[in-house]
Amino acid sequence: MLASSGCSEPISLSCPAGSGDVIVVDNPFEGRWFTEGKTPRLTEEWRVSLPDGVGSPQPEAVGIRSDGTVTIVELGTGTIIELDPEGDQTPSEELLPPGVVAALAGAVVDERLPAPVVEILPSAGFLVALPPRPIPGGAEERRVSLVVRMAADASVTDTLYAVSVTTLNDHDFVEWPRPGTGMPLVAVGPGSEVALAGASSAYRIDVLRADFTDSLVVCRQAPALPLTESETGEIELPGSPPGLAWLLDASRRVKTLLPFGRIFLGSEGRLWVQRERPDPQRLYAQPGGAAYDVFAAGGAYLGEVRAPARLVLVGEATGLVYGLEASEDGQVSLVAFGLR
């Protein structure tokens, strides 16, 4: 069964209402690359191994500026490293501001909770998809996860997006999402544009301008993705909290599932949509070798690009597409590709 394209479904964003014309683009046809017979391929340009402790087992934030500078953050330690457009590490003793680390520490340190999603704003600050929180006066298992803009001092300056989440009805895991429930997806482009998704089960991504005003709604029809085995409790990931797999296996499933996994924005305004479902516990570490739908800046579907095995794509700028590759021994490398 095909998921709804989503363009007809109203989504309430928290950005200023009436802040500009919103272009809605549905994509019912084959992509431009297919029809023109010009589907590009990823060609490796360079790779660099990340320092121990950064990217292992996963970086929680990857930011790529318009000049190709790559910033990688590990929230557990607050460590930040920067790589120049050629992949060389720039001298830096920089750490995340203590206020940001403190604000996120509960979600990072408490292994019972899914890791927060953090995106670095090239202008200043961070976008954070917070773990589910109670709805005032609502049922305990009905919660909301917010995408907020957070300044360096950890103050929340804007709430951009809200996703209704159903969590496990268990006091030890009351903030853990039920298998298949909606979760916010957020991406920041090199020019500070923002993409948001997850508020419905439709193939729909809302793109905001750098000033957080409405810009574009991108839709397409695609099959819903099946739940992963760790989401349903059929297998237990290493390091999972005791009892979580049993609760997931015994819980009710959400009937309508999202038809894509992660999203990111690239150079020239392109939108990349991962068509395989990652586990909430290891967002960047897998699935390697996934297929990605690629859309032009105006929302038109270009076609599909598949990542190499063991590698997940994370960004694009200055003509390069960037990915994180995990070796069998756990070493993580940043790899840059040309798209030709």
**Is 258 inside a domain boundary?**
yes
**Is 280 inside a domain boundary?**
yes
Query: Is residue 113 a contact partner of residue 105, using CB atoms and an 8 Å limit?
Result: no
pLDDT at 57: 40
What CATH number does the domain containing 278 carry? 2.120.10
Report whether the peptide linkage leading into residue 57 is cis, meaning its omega lies within 30 degrees of zero. Answer: yes
Question: Tens place of pLDDT for every residue, the chain, 340 residues?
Answer: 344 456 766 665 554 433 456 788 888 888 999 888 888 999 999 998 887 655 544 445 677 888 888 887 766 666 777 888 888 887 665 666 655 555 554 343 344 445 556 777 766 677 878 777 788 766 667 888 888 888 767 777 888 888 888 888 777 777 778 888 878 888 888 888 899 998 888 899 999 888 887 778 999 988 888 888 878 888 877 667 788 888 888 888 887 788 898 899 987 889 999 988 876 655 444 567 889 999 999 999 999 999 998 888 988 988 899 998 888 777 888 899 999 8
**Is 1 inside a domain boundary?**
no
Report whether the peptide linkage leading into residue 287 is cis, meaning its omega lies within 30 degrees of zero. Answer: yes
Q: What is the pTM of this model?
A: 0.85
**Is 14 inside a domain boundary?**
no
Pairwise CA distance, residues 302 & 314, whole Å: 18
Query: Is residue 108 a contact partner of residue 75, using CB atoms and an 8 Å limit?
Result: yes
Q: b vs e for 294-311, b when ≥16 Cβ sit within 10 Å of the residue's Cβ?
A: bbbbebebbbbbebeebb
Q: What is the rounded (10 degree) CA torsion for 72, 191, 21, 205?
A: -30
pLDDT at 107: 40
Q: What is the mean pLDDT of the chain?
A: 78
Query: Is residue 276 a contact partner of residue 307, using CB atoms and an 8 Å limit?
Result: no
Which structural domain range is residue 68 located in? 23-339
The total of structural domains in the chain comes to: 1
**Is 15 inside a domain boundary?**
no
Pairwise CA distance, residues 242 & 233, whole Å: 12
**Is 334 inside a domain boundary?**
yes
